[in-house]
Amino acid sequence: MKLLLKIMYNGRDFMGYQYQPDVRTVQGSLTSAVSSCFGRDMKITGCSRTDAGVHALGFCCTAEPAGEHPDDWLRIPVGKVHRALSRFLPEDIAVAGECEVPDDFHPRYSVVSKEYIYRMYDTVAADPFLTGRAWHLKHPVTEEGLCRMNEAASCLIGYRDFTSFMASGSKIEDARRTVESLSVVREGRELMLRVRADGFLYNMVRIITGTLADCARGTMDPGDMVRILEKRDRCAAGKTAPADGLYLNDVTYDREISWKLD
């Protein structure tokens, strides 16, 4: 069996999720903490990668001993691992759920859909408490601008070829994905973009966000979305929004996960 962990992290001080030697990464920090906690070398496998500065509220990863090990390696009751682990985790990573999964479970291949949130705000002055956590839009978003964002968003919902919304240089051959939901809602001074899809291309949420922000400002038209999709060209879409407004919010798997946190 493997241990499936749902984790939160503040991406500010990480050079992204994926392990790299000599730099601080989420995977590296998690691997050290989990290995110390269980007193053996552990292997951490994540549901995806996130870039430097990107945050997570519901990132999922499995933890299992590296190399040969007995099946009953997990000596801490499921639901209480987070308590043992909290002593080893840095302040910017926390466990939000835990569950036992069988060996055939793969945290990436068993994913059915993922949800990202992108936070923006549009006050005149930058907010020192939102720095690194939300994108400061220099142009206030009017009611009409918000409508334009959602009109553009609606064109991107469904099974589409998202080549235009993929970082140029990506080696992905098939850029067709199903966006299940995509909307922008005002919450006080913040604008929250929420998008769920069966898969995401590299920079896809950030390019969608940048394009919708252009629609809000009026420098792009919601009516152009279909044409942008058809062009299958990154240059057709808007700019890439900064990394630090992006949060991996939720991962849905091909089976029910009974998260525990005692």
Q: Which of 86, 142, 154, 258 binds a copy of itself (CB under 8 A)?
A: 86
Select 25 or 203, whichever has its Cβ closest to a copy of itself: 25
Residue 59 C-alpha from the chain's centroid: 7
**Residue 208: closest CA among 241, 171, 245:** 241
Contact in structure between 44 and 61 (CB atoms under 8 Å)? yes
Stretch of residues binding a copy of itself (CB under 8 A), selected from 78-86, 147-155, 160-168, 230-238: 78-86
Q: Which of 22, 71, 104, 124 binds a copy of itself (CB under 8 A)?
A: 124
> 85: part of which helix (H) or strand (E)?
helix 81-86
Q: Which of 20, 131, 219, 258 binds a copy of itself (CB under 8 A)?
A: 131
Q: Is 91 in the site for a copy of itself (CB under 8 A)?
A: yes
Token pair of 261 as six digits: 């946190």
Q: Is 55 in the site for a copy of itself (CB under 8 A)?
A: yes
Q: Is 94 in the site for a copy of itself (CB under 8 A)?
A: yes
Select 6 or 177, whichever has its Cβ closest to a copy of itself: 6
Active site residues: 51
Radius of gyration for the chain, computed over Cα atoms and rounded to the nearest angstrom: 20
Q: CB under 8 Å to 3, separation ≥6 — which residues?
A: 62, 63, 64, 74, 78, 81, 98, 99, 100, 101
User: Taking the chain, what is the end-to-end CA distance rounded to the nearest angstrom?
Assistant: 20
Select 30 or 207, whichever has its Cβ closest to a copy of itself: 30
Helix, strand, or coil (residue 74): coil
Distance CA 46, CA 49 (A): 7
Stretch of residues binding a copy of itself (CB under 8 A), selected from 3-11, 15-23, 214-222, 233-241: 3-11
Q: Is 92 in the site for a copy of itself (CB under 8 A)?
A: yes
Q: Is 125 in the site for a copy of itself (CB under 8 A)?
A: yes
Q: Is 133 in the site for a copy of itself (CB under 8 A)?
A: yes
Give the CA diameter of the chain: 61
Q: Is 9 in the site for a copy of itself (CB under 8 A)?
A: yes
Q: Is 219 in the site for a copy of itself (CB under 8 A)?
A: no
Binding site for a copy of itself (CB under 8 A): 8-10, 55, 82-83, 86, 91-96, 124-129, 131-133, 261
